[in-house]
Structure 1
Amino acid sequence: MQSPHPEQQYLHMLQLILDTGSERSDRTGVGTKAIFGHSMRFNLSDGFPVFTTKRVFWKTAFKEMLWMLSGGTNVRELIAQNVHIWSDWPYKKFIDAQAVGSPDKLLSINAFEQRILEDQAFADKWGDLGPVYGKQWRRWKTSDGREIDQVSQVIESLKKDPASRRILFDGWNVGELNEMALPPCHKHYQFFVDGTTNRLSGAMVQRSVDSYLGCAFNIANLAFLTTLLAHQTGYEPGEIVWFGMDVHLYLNHVEQAQKQLARTPKPFPKLLIKRKPESLFDYTIDDFEMVGYDPHPAISAPVAV
Protein backbone atom coordinates (compact mmCIF):
# COMPACT_ATOMS: atom_id res chain seq x y z
CA MET A 1 0.00 0.00 0.00
CA GLN A 2 1.42 3.36 -1.03
CA SER A 3 2.00 5.89 1.75
CA PRO A 4 -0.01 9.12 1.49
CA HIS A 5 1.81 12.11 0.06
CA PRO A 6 3.30 14.14 2.94
CA GLU A 7 1.54 17.28 1.68
CA GLN A 8 -1.76 15.61 2.53
CA GLN A 9 -1.02 16.60 6.14
CA TYR A 10 -1.39 20.25 5.15
CA LEU A 11 -4.52 19.67 3.07
CA HIS A 12 -6.03 17.73 5.97
CA MET A 13 -5.30 20.70 8.25
CA LEU A 14 -7.07 23.11 5.88
CA GLN A 15 -10.08 20.82 5.71
CA LEU A 16 -10.12 20.42 9.49
CA ILE A 17 -10.22 24.20 9.93
CA LEU A 18 -13.05 24.53 7.41
CA ASP A 19 -15.03 21.71 9.04
CA THR A 20 -14.43 22.33 12.74
CA GLY A 21 -12.79 25.73 13.15
CA SER A 22 -14.22 28.19 15.64
CA GLU A 23 -15.24 31.45 13.96
CA ARG A 24 -13.52 34.32 15.75
CA SER A 25 -12.86 38.02 15.48
CA ASP A 26 -9.22 39.10 15.28
CA ARG A 27 -7.00 42.18 15.42
CA THR A 28 -7.16 42.68 11.63
CA GLY A 29 -10.96 42.91 11.55
CA VAL A 30 -11.18 40.26 8.81
CA GLY A 31 -12.21 37.34 11.03
CA THR A 32 -10.97 33.76 11.04
CA LYS A 33 -11.91 30.13 11.51
CA ALA A 34 -9.40 28.61 13.92
CA ILE A 35 -8.31 25.43 15.64
CA PHE A 36 -5.88 25.13 18.54
CA GLY A 37 -2.90 22.80 18.46
CA HIS A 38 -1.80 20.94 15.33
CA SER A 39 1.40 19.26 14.16
CA MET A 40 3.00 18.06 10.94
CA ARG A 41 6.16 16.04 10.34
CA PHE A 42 8.23 15.81 7.15
CA ASN A 43 11.20 13.53 6.43
CA LEU A 44 13.66 15.61 4.40
CA SER A 45 15.01 12.49 2.68
CA ASP A 46 11.59 12.22 0.96
CA GLY A 47 12.10 15.55 -0.80
CA PHE A 48 12.03 19.19 0.17
CA PRO A 49 8.61 20.15 1.61
CA VAL A 50 7.75 23.11 -0.59
CA PHE A 51 4.07 22.55 -1.25
CA THR A 52 2.84 21.70 -4.72
CA THR A 53 -0.94 22.18 -4.65
CA LYS A 54 -0.24 25.86 -5.26
CA ARG A 55 3.04 27.50 -6.25
CA VAL A 56 5.16 28.58 -3.29
CA PHE A 57 7.61 31.34 -4.11
CA TRP A 58 10.44 29.59 -2.35
CA LYS A 59 13.09 32.16 -3.27
CA THR A 60 11.05 34.82 -1.49
CA ALA A 61 10.76 32.57 1.56
CA PHE A 62 14.49 31.79 1.57
CA LYS A 63 15.42 35.46 1.17
CA GLU A 64 13.30 36.20 4.23
CA MET A 65 15.05 33.47 6.25
CA LEU A 66 18.51 34.64 5.15
CA TRP A 67 17.53 38.19 6.15
CA MET A 68 16.46 36.98 9.59
CA LEU A 69 19.67 35.00 10.01
CA SER A 70 21.66 38.11 9.11
CA GLY A 71 20.05 39.94 12.02
CA GLY A 72 18.18 42.30 9.69
CA THR A 73 15.23 44.35 10.94
CA ASN A 74 14.63 46.90 8.15
CA VAL A 75 12.40 46.27 5.13
CA ARG A 76 14.89 48.13 2.94
CA GLU A 77 17.08 45.02 2.84
CA LEU A 78 14.11 42.96 1.61
CA ILE A 79 12.72 45.47 -0.87
CA ALA A 80 16.17 45.68 -2.47
CA GLN A 81 15.77 41.95 -3.21
CA ASN A 82 12.24 42.37 -4.57
CA VAL A 83 10.69 40.93 -1.40
CA HIS A 84 7.58 42.80 -0.30
CA ILE A 85 6.01 40.49 2.30
CA TRP A 86 6.91 42.77 5.25
CA SER A 87 6.16 46.13 3.64
CA ASP A 88 2.49 46.37 4.64
CA TRP A 89 3.27 46.85 8.33
CA PRO A 90 5.61 49.88 8.12
CA TYR A 91 3.47 51.33 5.32
CA LYS A 92 0.36 51.19 7.52
CA LYS A 93 2.30 52.81 10.37
CA PHE A 94 3.51 55.53 8.01
CA ILE A 95 0.03 56.27 6.63
CA ASP A 96 -1.53 56.28 10.11
CA ALA A 97 1.09 58.77 11.30
CA GLN A 98 0.43 61.36 8.59
CA ALA A 99 -1.71 64.41 9.33
CA VAL A 100 -4.98 64.70 7.43
CA GLY A 101 -4.36 66.42 4.11
CA SER A 102 -0.60 65.79 4.11
CA PRO A 103 0.75 65.10 0.59
CA ASP A 104 2.69 62.13 2.02
CA LYS A 105 -0.61 60.49 2.89
CA LEU A 106 -1.20 60.02 -0.82
CA LEU A 107 1.89 57.85 -1.26
CA SER A 108 1.00 54.44 -2.66
CA ILE A 109 2.77 51.46 -1.16
CA ASN A 110 4.90 51.23 -4.33
CA ALA A 111 5.97 54.86 -3.93
CA PHE A 112 6.60 54.25 -0.23
CA GLU A 113 8.90 51.31 -1.05
CA GLN A 114 10.71 53.34 -3.70
CA ARG A 115 11.36 56.10 -1.20
CA ILE A 116 12.63 53.51 1.29
CA LEU A 117 15.16 52.42 -1.33
CA GLU A 118 16.24 55.91 -2.34
CA ASP A 119 16.30 57.71 1.02
CA GLN A 120 18.34 56.10 3.80
CA ALA A 121 17.07 58.53 6.43
CA PHE A 122 13.48 57.78 5.42
CA ALA A 123 14.25 54.04 5.54
CA ASP A 124 15.81 54.36 8.99
CA LYS A 125 12.68 56.10 10.28
CA TRP A 126 9.89 54.23 8.48
CA GLY A 127 11.43 50.99 7.27
CA ASP A 128 12.59 49.72 10.64
CA LEU A 129 10.40 46.99 12.09
CA GLY A 130 11.75 47.18 15.60
CA PRO A 131 13.47 44.29 17.41
CA VAL A 132 11.86 41.54 15.33
CA TYR A 133 13.20 38.06 14.52
CA GLY A 134 16.74 38.87 13.40
CA LYS A 135 17.39 41.12 16.40
CA GLN A 136 16.27 38.45 18.87
CA TRP A 137 18.02 35.57 17.09
CA ARG A 138 21.37 37.32 16.74
CA ARG A 139 21.39 40.14 19.35
CA TRP A 140 19.19 39.21 22.31
CA LYS A 141 19.85 41.93 24.88
CA THR A 142 20.52 40.93 28.47
CA SER A 143 19.80 42.95 31.61
CA ASP A 144 23.46 43.99 31.87
CA GLY A 145 23.54 45.30 28.28
CA ARG A 146 25.29 42.34 26.64
CA GLU A 147 23.98 40.80 23.42
CA ILE A 148 23.61 37.05 22.86
CA ASP A 149 23.89 35.50 19.40
CA GLN A 150 21.53 32.57 19.86
CA VAL A 151 22.00 31.15 16.36
CA SER A 152 25.79 31.05 16.73
CA GLN A 153 25.31 29.27 20.05
CA VAL A 154 23.20 26.63 18.27
CA ILE A 155 25.97 26.06 15.71
CA GLU A 156 28.56 25.76 18.46
CA SER A 157 26.42 23.23 20.36
CA LEU A 158 25.83 21.14 17.23
CA LYS A 159 29.56 20.91 16.73
CA LYS A 160 30.69 20.40 20.32
CA ASP A 161 27.74 19.05 22.31
CA PRO A 162 25.29 17.43 19.88
CA ALA A 163 23.53 15.42 22.62
CA SER A 164 22.51 18.61 24.44
CA ARG A 165 18.84 19.21 25.08
CA ARG A 166 19.46 22.97 24.92
CA ILE A 167 20.12 23.35 21.19
CA LEU A 168 17.46 25.97 20.64
CA PHE A 169 16.71 29.63 20.14
CA ASP A 170 13.72 31.87 20.81
CA GLY A 171 12.23 35.06 19.43
CA TRP A 172 9.57 35.77 22.08
CA ASN A 173 11.29 38.47 24.11
CA VAL A 174 8.51 39.65 26.42
CA GLY A 175 10.32 42.87 27.31
CA GLU A 176 10.50 44.04 23.68
CA LEU A 177 7.21 42.81 22.18
CA ASN A 178 5.64 46.28 22.21
CA GLU A 179 8.51 47.64 20.10
CA MET A 180 8.00 45.10 17.30
CA ALA A 181 5.96 45.76 14.16
CA LEU A 182 4.63 42.23 14.60
CA PRO A 183 5.45 39.90 17.51
CA PRO A 184 7.09 36.68 16.30
CA CYS A 185 4.68 34.09 14.95
CA HIS A 186 7.31 31.35 14.68
CA LYS A 187 8.72 31.80 18.14
CA HIS A 188 10.76 28.76 19.18
CA TYR A 189 13.22 26.52 17.31
CA GLN A 190 14.90 23.40 18.66
CA PHE A 191 17.25 20.86 17.10
CA PHE A 192 18.09 17.20 17.69
CA VAL A 193 21.05 15.13 16.51
CA ASP A 194 20.58 11.38 16.05
CA GLY A 195 24.06 10.06 16.67
CA THR A 196 23.19 6.67 15.16
CA THR A 197 22.21 8.05 11.76
CA ASN A 198 24.20 11.32 11.88
CA ARG A 199 21.02 13.18 11.03
CA LEU A 200 19.92 16.60 12.26
CA SER A 201 16.23 17.26 12.82
CA GLY A 202 14.56 20.57 13.57
CA ALA A 203 11.30 21.61 15.21
CA MET A 204 9.47 24.91 15.41
CA VAL A 205 6.61 26.15 17.58
CA GLN A 206 4.37 28.72 15.93
CA ARG A 207 2.00 30.67 18.18
CA SER A 208 -0.08 32.10 15.30
CA VAL A 209 -0.48 30.48 11.90
CA ASP A 210 -1.94 32.09 8.79
CA SER A 211 -2.73 28.67 7.39
CA TYR A 212 -3.41 29.75 3.82
CA LEU A 213 -0.75 32.37 3.06
CA GLY A 214 1.93 31.93 5.69
CA CYS A 215 2.12 28.26 6.63
CA ALA A 216 3.73 27.07 3.38
CA PHE A 217 6.51 29.64 3.88
CA ASN A 218 6.94 28.58 7.51
CA ILE A 219 7.29 24.88 6.65
CA ALA A 220 9.69 25.59 3.78
CA ASN A 221 11.82 27.88 5.95
CA LEU A 222 11.99 25.38 8.82
CA ALA A 223 13.23 22.77 6.33
CA PHE A 224 15.62 25.33 4.83
CA LEU A 225 17.11 26.35 8.16
CA THR A 226 17.49 22.74 9.31
CA THR A 227 19.17 21.83 6.02
CA LEU A 228 21.57 24.79 6.25
CA LEU A 229 22.54 23.94 9.82
CA ALA A 230 23.17 20.32 8.79
CA HIS A 231 25.23 21.50 5.82
CA GLN A 232 27.38 23.71 8.03
CA THR A 233 27.92 21.24 10.89
CA GLY A 234 28.49 17.96 9.07
CA TYR A 235 25.14 16.19 9.46
CA GLU A 236 22.58 14.87 7.03
CA PRO A 237 19.13 16.49 7.12
CA GLY A 238 16.68 14.40 9.13
CA GLU A 239 13.10 15.43 9.86
CA ILE A 240 11.28 18.63 10.58
CA VAL A 241 8.44 18.79 13.07
CA TRP A 242 6.07 21.75 13.02
CA PHE A 243 3.78 22.67 15.90
CA GLY A 244 1.02 25.22 15.29
CA MET A 245 -0.94 26.69 18.18
CA ASP A 246 -3.62 29.19 17.00
CA VAL A 247 -4.01 27.79 13.47
CA HIS A 248 -6.43 29.95 11.52
CA LEU A 249 -7.90 30.56 8.11
CA TYR A 250 -8.94 34.12 7.33
CA LEU A 251 -12.56 34.32 6.18
CA ASN A 252 -11.49 35.99 2.93
CA HIS A 253 -9.28 32.95 2.16
CA VAL A 254 -12.01 30.29 2.34
CA GLU A 255 -12.68 30.19 -1.40
CA GLN A 256 -8.96 29.93 -2.18
CA ALA A 257 -8.50 27.10 0.34
CA GLN A 258 -11.39 25.17 -1.19
CA LYS A 259 -9.83 25.56 -4.63
CA GLN A 260 -6.49 24.28 -3.32
CA LEU A 261 -8.15 21.31 -1.62
CA ALA A 262 -9.47 20.14 -4.99
CA ARG A 263 -5.90 19.65 -6.27
CA THR A 264 -3.70 16.57 -6.03
CA PRO A 265 -0.16 16.93 -4.63
CA LYS A 266 2.79 16.36 -6.94
CA PRO A 267 6.21 14.91 -5.96
CA PHE A 268 8.32 17.13 -3.72
CA PRO A 269 11.44 18.61 -5.34
CA LYS A 270 15.03 18.37 -4.14
CA LEU A 271 16.99 21.31 -2.76
CA LEU A 272 20.42 21.66 -4.36
CA ILE A 273 23.04 23.66 -2.42
CA LYS A 274 25.72 24.74 -4.87
CA ARG A 275 28.49 25.69 -2.44
CA LYS A 276 29.45 25.60 1.23
CA PRO A 277 30.45 29.06 2.45
CA GLU A 278 32.61 29.71 5.50
CA SER A 279 29.64 30.27 7.80
CA LEU A 280 25.87 29.96 8.04
CA PHE A 281 25.64 33.71 7.56
CA ASP A 282 27.41 33.79 4.18
CA TYR A 283 24.88 32.01 1.97
CA THR A 284 23.14 33.99 -0.78
CA ILE A 285 19.99 33.11 -2.71
CA ASP A 286 22.14 32.20 -5.73
CA ASP A 287 23.55 29.26 -3.75
CA PHE A 288 20.26 27.33 -4.06
CA GLU A 289 18.32 25.56 -6.76
CA MET A 290 15.00 23.72 -6.41
CA VAL A 291 15.27 20.70 -8.69
CA GLY A 292 12.08 19.17 -10.06
CA TYR A 293 9.59 21.68 -8.65
CA ASP A 294 6.45 21.46 -10.80
CA PRO A 295 3.59 22.88 -8.71
CA HIS A 296 0.01 23.73 -9.55
CA PRO A 297 -0.47 27.44 -10.36
CA ALA A 298 -0.40 30.07 -7.63
CA ILE A 299 -3.70 31.14 -6.02
CA SER A 300 -3.59 34.76 -4.87
CA ALA A 301 -5.19 35.97 -1.64
CA PRO A 302 -5.11 39.28 0.28
CA VAL A 303 -2.86 39.76 3.31
CA ALA A 304 -4.56 40.71 6.56
CA VAL A 305 -2.54 43.42 8.31
Structure 2
Amino acid sequence: MKQYLDLVRDVIENGTLQGNRTGIRTISLPGAMLRFDLQKGFPAITTRKLAFKSAVGEMVGFLRGVKNAGEFRELGCKVWDQNANENAQWLANPFRQGHDDLGEIYGVQWRQWPAYKRIPLSNPAAIELAQSQGFQKIAESEEDGEAFVVLYKAIDQIRQCIDTIHKDPGSRRILFHGWNCAQLDEMALPPCHLLYQFHPNVETKEISLTLYIRSNDLGLLSDVGKSAQYVFLA
Protein backbone atom coordinates (compact mmCIF):
# COMPACT_ATOMS: atom_id res chain seq x y z
CA MET A 1 0.00 0.00 0.00
CA LYS A 2 2.80 2.41 0.90
CA GLN A 3 4.43 1.81 -2.49
CA TYR A 4 1.23 2.81 -4.24
CA LEU A 5 0.74 5.98 -2.19
CA ASP A 6 4.40 6.93 -2.62
CA LEU A 7 4.05 6.51 -6.39
CA VAL A 8 0.89 8.65 -6.52
CA ARG A 9 2.74 11.34 -4.58
CA ASP A 10 5.73 11.06 -6.92
CA VAL A 11 3.49 11.47 -9.98
CA ILE A 12 1.76 14.53 -8.51
CA GLU A 13 5.02 16.17 -7.45
CA ASN A 14 7.23 15.25 -10.41
CA GLY A 15 4.90 14.32 -13.26
CA THR A 16 4.11 16.53 -16.25
CA LEU A 17 0.68 17.63 -17.43
CA GLN A 18 -0.26 16.28 -20.86
CA GLY A 19 -3.22 16.01 -23.19
CA ASN A 20 -4.21 12.76 -24.91
CA ARG A 21 -6.81 11.06 -27.14
CA THR A 22 -9.40 10.75 -24.30
CA GLY A 23 -9.75 14.49 -23.78
CA ILE A 24 -8.92 14.05 -20.07
CA ARG A 25 -5.61 15.67 -19.18
CA THR A 26 -3.04 13.45 -17.49
CA ILE A 27 -0.26 13.95 -15.01
CA SER A 28 2.32 11.53 -16.37
CA LEU A 29 5.52 10.02 -14.98
CA PRO A 30 7.08 7.38 -17.28
CA GLY A 31 9.22 4.50 -16.07
CA ALA A 32 7.84 3.97 -12.56
CA MET A 33 8.25 0.54 -10.99
CA LEU A 34 6.58 -1.36 -8.14
CA ARG A 35 7.74 -4.61 -6.55
CA PHE A 36 5.55 -7.03 -4.57
CA ASP A 37 6.48 -10.09 -2.52
CA LEU A 38 3.45 -12.37 -2.80
CA GLN A 39 4.77 -14.46 0.06
CA LYS A 40 3.77 -11.54 2.28
CA GLY A 41 0.24 -11.30 0.87
CA PHE A 42 -1.75 -10.06 -2.10
CA PRO A 43 -0.98 -6.42 -3.06
CA ALA A 44 -4.54 -5.09 -2.90
CA ILE A 45 -5.15 -1.35 -2.82
CA THR A 46 -7.23 -0.24 0.16
CA THR A 47 -7.45 3.53 -0.39
CA ARG A 48 -9.88 3.26 -3.30
CA LYS A 49 -12.57 0.82 -4.36
CA LEU A 50 -11.15 -2.45 -5.66
CA ALA A 51 -13.33 -4.40 -8.10
CA PHE A 52 -11.64 -7.69 -7.25
CA LYS A 53 -14.33 -10.04 -8.59
CA SER A 54 -14.42 -8.14 -11.86
CA ALA A 55 -10.62 -8.30 -12.14
CA VAL A 56 -10.67 -12.07 -11.56
CA GLY A 57 -13.41 -12.51 -14.17
CA GLU A 58 -11.44 -10.43 -16.66
CA MET A 59 -8.28 -12.49 -16.12
CA VAL A 60 -10.24 -15.72 -16.58
CA GLY A 61 -11.61 -14.29 -19.83
CA PHE A 62 -8.13 -13.38 -21.04
CA LEU A 63 -6.84 -16.87 -20.27
CA ARG A 64 -9.77 -18.33 -22.22
CA GLY A 65 -9.06 -16.09 -25.21
CA VAL A 66 -12.38 -14.26 -24.88
CA LYS A 67 -13.05 -11.51 -27.44
CA ASN A 68 -16.70 -10.72 -26.68
CA ALA A 69 -18.01 -8.36 -23.98
CA GLY A 70 -20.98 -10.66 -23.33
CA GLU A 71 -18.67 -13.49 -22.30
CA PHE A 72 -16.82 -11.12 -19.96
CA ARG A 73 -20.16 -10.13 -18.39
CA GLU A 74 -20.96 -13.78 -17.77
CA LEU A 75 -17.70 -13.93 -15.82
CA GLY A 76 -18.74 -10.93 -13.68
CA CYS A 77 -16.70 -8.34 -15.60
CA LYS A 78 -18.51 -5.41 -17.20
CA VAL A 79 -15.54 -3.14 -17.87
CA TRP A 80 -15.41 -4.12 -21.55
CA ASP A 81 -19.01 -3.12 -22.34
CA GLN A 82 -18.13 0.48 -23.17
CA ASN A 83 -15.14 -0.45 -25.32
CA ALA A 84 -17.27 -2.90 -27.29
CA ASN A 85 -20.44 -0.88 -27.82
CA GLU A 86 -19.86 2.82 -27.03
CA ASN A 87 -16.48 3.58 -28.56
CA ALA A 88 -17.26 5.61 -31.69
CA GLN A 89 -13.94 4.77 -33.34
CA TRP A 90 -14.44 1.04 -32.78
CA LEU A 91 -18.10 1.18 -33.86
CA ALA A 92 -16.97 2.56 -37.21
CA ASN A 93 -14.17 0.03 -37.59
CA PRO A 94 -14.87 -2.46 -40.42
CA PHE A 95 -13.13 -5.20 -38.41
CA ARG A 96 -15.83 -5.02 -35.70
CA GLN A 97 -18.19 -8.00 -35.97
CA GLY A 98 -21.37 -6.76 -34.36
CA HIS A 99 -22.68 -6.14 -30.85
CA ASP A 100 -20.27 -6.93 -27.98
CA ASP A 101 -17.39 -7.78 -30.34
CA LEU A 102 -13.98 -6.61 -29.10
CA GLY A 103 -11.74 -7.86 -31.87
CA GLU A 104 -8.33 -9.45 -31.42
CA ILE A 105 -7.69 -8.24 -27.85
CA TYR A 106 -5.47 -9.56 -25.05
CA GLY A 107 -6.58 -13.17 -24.73
CA VAL A 108 -6.68 -13.80 -28.45
CA GLN A 109 -3.02 -12.82 -28.69
CA TRP A 110 -2.17 -14.84 -25.57
CA ARG A 111 -3.80 -18.05 -26.74
CA GLN A 112 -4.04 -17.76 -30.54
CA TRP A 113 -1.27 -15.46 -31.76
CA PRO A 114 -1.55 -15.56 -35.59
CA ALA A 115 1.86 -16.66 -36.89
CA TYR A 116 2.88 -16.66 -40.53
CA LYS A 117 5.97 -17.84 -42.40
CA ARG A 118 6.85 -16.79 -45.94
CA ILE A 119 9.31 -19.32 -47.34
CA PRO A 120 10.72 -19.60 -50.89
CA LEU A 121 9.66 -22.78 -52.67
CA SER A 122 13.35 -23.25 -53.41
CA ASN A 123 13.89 -24.02 -49.70
CA PRO A 124 11.96 -27.28 -49.15
CA ALA A 125 13.91 -28.06 -45.96
CA ALA A 126 12.61 -24.90 -44.28
CA ILE A 127 9.07 -25.65 -45.45
CA GLU A 128 9.32 -29.17 -44.05
CA LEU A 129 10.64 -27.88 -40.72
CA ALA A 130 7.80 -25.34 -40.42
CA GLN A 131 5.20 -27.99 -41.20
CA SER A 132 6.71 -30.29 -38.56
CA GLN A 133 6.14 -27.41 -36.10
CA GLY A 134 2.43 -27.31 -36.94
CA PHE A 135 2.40 -24.67 -39.67
CA GLN A 136 0.01 -25.30 -42.54
CA LYS A 137 0.28 -24.03 -46.08
CA ILE A 138 -2.39 -21.45 -46.87
CA ALA A 139 -1.14 -19.86 -50.09
CA GLU A 140 1.45 -19.84 -52.84
CA SER A 141 2.51 -16.80 -54.80
CA GLU A 142 5.39 -15.16 -56.64
CA GLU A 143 7.26 -11.89 -56.20
CA ASP A 144 10.14 -10.54 -58.26
CA GLY A 145 10.37 -13.83 -60.07
CA GLU A 146 10.65 -15.90 -56.87
CA ALA A 147 7.92 -18.37 -55.94
CA PHE A 148 7.11 -18.68 -52.25
CA VAL A 149 4.67 -20.38 -49.91
CA VAL A 150 2.81 -18.84 -46.95
CA LEU A 151 2.24 -21.01 -43.89
CA TYR A 152 0.14 -20.29 -40.80
CA LYS A 153 -0.58 -21.54 -37.29
CA ALA A 154 -2.11 -20.07 -34.12
CA ILE A 155 0.42 -19.98 -31.28
CA ASP A 156 -0.70 -20.56 -27.70
CA GLN A 157 1.81 -18.38 -25.83
CA ILE A 158 0.47 -19.32 -22.40
CA ARG A 159 0.85 -23.03 -23.13
CA GLN A 160 4.39 -22.44 -24.38
CA CYS A 161 5.32 -20.59 -21.16
CA ILE A 162 3.87 -23.29 -18.91
CA ASP A 163 5.62 -26.05 -20.86
CA THR A 164 8.95 -24.21 -20.74
CA ILE A 165 8.63 -23.58 -16.99
CA HIS A 166 8.27 -27.34 -16.53
CA LYS A 167 10.86 -28.49 -19.07
CA ASP A 168 13.47 -25.72 -19.02
CA PRO A 169 12.96 -23.50 -15.95
CA GLY A 170 16.41 -21.95 -16.33
CA SER A 171 15.44 -20.35 -19.62
CA ARG A 172 15.40 -16.56 -19.81
CA ARG A 173 13.00 -16.71 -22.75
CA ILE A 174 9.82 -17.57 -20.86
CA LEU A 175 7.65 -14.65 -21.90
CA PHE A 176 4.53 -13.72 -23.83
CA HIS A 177 3.05 -10.46 -25.03
CA GLY A 178 -0.04 -8.98 -26.60
CA TRP A 179 1.31 -6.11 -28.70
CA ASN A 180 0.69 -7.53 -32.16
CA CYS A 181 1.53 -4.60 -34.43
CA ALA A 182 -0.23 -6.21 -37.39
CA GLN A 183 -3.55 -6.38 -35.54
CA LEU A 184 -3.70 -3.21 -33.43
CA ASP A 185 -6.32 -1.82 -35.80
CA GLU A 186 -8.42 -4.95 -35.22
CA MET A 187 -8.80 -4.36 -31.47
CA ALA A 188 -11.37 -2.31 -29.60
CA LEU A 189 -8.48 -1.30 -27.32
CA PRO A 190 -4.77 -2.07 -27.71
CA PRO A 191 -3.29 -3.80 -24.65
CA CYS A 192 -2.11 -1.66 -21.73
CA HIS A 193 -0.32 -4.47 -19.88
CA LEU A 194 1.47 -6.02 -22.80
CA LEU A 195 4.67 -7.88 -21.89
CA TYR A 196 5.09 -10.59 -19.26
CA GLN A 197 8.25 -12.55 -18.37
CA PHE A 198 8.49 -15.46 -15.94
CA HIS A 199 11.66 -16.02 -13.90
CA PRO A 200 11.63 -19.47 -12.25
CA ASN A 201 14.30 -20.16 -9.60
CA VAL A 202 15.00 -23.87 -9.43
CA GLU A 203 17.16 -23.51 -6.31
CA THR A 204 14.60 -21.68 -4.18
CA LYS A 205 11.51 -23.25 -5.81
CA GLU A 206 10.15 -19.77 -6.49
CA ILE A 207 8.89 -17.97 -9.56
CA SER A 208 8.87 -14.25 -10.28
CA LEU A 209 6.96 -12.30 -12.91
CA THR A 210 7.98 -9.07 -14.59
CA LEU A 211 5.10 -7.09 -16.11
CA TYR A 212 5.45 -4.11 -18.44
CA ILE A 213 2.51 -1.70 -18.73
CA ARG A 214 2.57 0.96 -21.45
CA SER A 215 -0.14 3.07 -19.76
CA ASN A 216 -1.52 2.61 -16.26
CA ASP A 217 -4.16 4.71 -14.48
CA LEU A 218 -3.10 5.25 -10.87
CA GLY A 219 -5.87 7.46 -9.60
CA LEU A 220 -8.48 10.01 -10.55
CA LEU A 221 -8.74 13.60 -9.32
CA SER A 222 -11.88 15.54 -10.20
CA ASP A 223 -12.58 19.19 -9.38
CA VAL A 224 -16.14 19.86 -10.54
CA GLY A 225 -16.04 23.50 -9.44
CA LYS A 226 -13.20 24.25 -11.81
CA SER A 227 -14.37 21.78 -14.48
CA ALA A 228 -10.99 20.09 -14.25
CA GLN A 229 -10.31 16.39 -14.35
CA TYR A 230 -6.97 14.63 -14.27
CA VAL A 231 -5.75 11.05 -14.42
CA PHE A 232 -2.42 10.09 -12.89
CA LEU A 233 -0.35 7.93 -15.19
CA ALA A 234 2.82 5.97 -14.61
Which amino acid in 1 is paired with 2:221?
V
1:48-79 alpha-carbon deviations (Å, 9 max, x no partner): 11122223121111110010000111101012
- Report the alpha carbon displacement of residue 145 of structure 1 after superposing the two structures with TM: 2.0
CA–CA distance in structure 1, aligned partners of residues 221 and 64 of structure 2: 35
CA–CA distance in structure 2, aligned partners of residues 89 and 161 of structure 1: 39
Unaligned runs of 5+ in 1: 1-6, 99-122, 213-252, 257-300
Say if 2:84 and 2:90, in contact at 8 Å, map to a contact too: no
CA–CA distance in structure 1, aligned partners of residues 171 and 165 of structure 2: 8
* 1:128 is the counterpart of 2:95: no
Match of 2:160 among 147, 150, 153: 153
Say if 1:94 and 1:126, in contact at 8 Å, map to a contact too: no
Match of 1:254 among 214, 217, 221: 221
Unaligned runs of 5+ in 2: 117-150, 224-229
Q: SS at 2:86's partner residue?
A: helix
CA–CA distance in structure 1, aligned partners of residues 99 and 89 of structure 2: 10
CA–CA distance in structure 2, aligned partners of residues 85 and 190 of structure 1: 26
Match of 1:29 among 23, 29, 40: 23
* 1:11 is the counterpart of 2:5: yes
Runs of 4+ in structure 1 off by over 2 angstroms are 93-98
Greater strand share, structure number: 2
- Report the alpha carbon displacement of residue 255 of structure 1 after superposing the two structures with TM: 4.9
- Report the alpha carbon displacement of residue 192 of structure 1 after superposing the two structures with TM: 0.6
Greater helix share, structure number: 1
Match of 2:55 among 54, 61, 86: 61
1:235-246 aligned at under 5 Å gives the runs none
CA–CA distance in structure 1, aligned partners of residues 99 and 90 of structure 2: 12
- Report the alpha carbon displacement of residue 81 of structure 1 after superposing the two structures with TM: 3.1
CA–CA distance in structure 2, aligned partners of residues 185 and 50 of structure 1: 19
* Distance change (3 Å), C-alpha of 1:149 and 1:97: closer
**Percent identity (aligned):** 37
Say if 2:66 and 2:72, in contact at 8 Å, map to a contact too: no
Per the alignment, residue 169 of structure 1 pairs with: 176
Larger Cα-atom Rg = 2
TM (norm. structure 2) is 0.75
- Quick one: higher RCO (CA 8 Å, sep 6+), 1 or 2? 1
Match of 2:201 among 178, 194, 204: 194
TM (norm. structure 1) is 0.58
- Report the alpha carbon displacement of residue 157 of structure 1 after superposing the two structures with TM: 0.4
Cα RMSD of the aligned pairs, angstroms, is: 2.2
CA–CA distance in structure 2, aligned partners of residues 22 and 178 of structure 1: 29
Which amino acid in 1 is paired with 2:166?
K
- Report the alpha carbon displacement of residue 97 of structure 1 after superposing the two structures with TM: 5.2
Say if 1:194 and 1:200, in contact at 8 Å, map to a contact too: yes
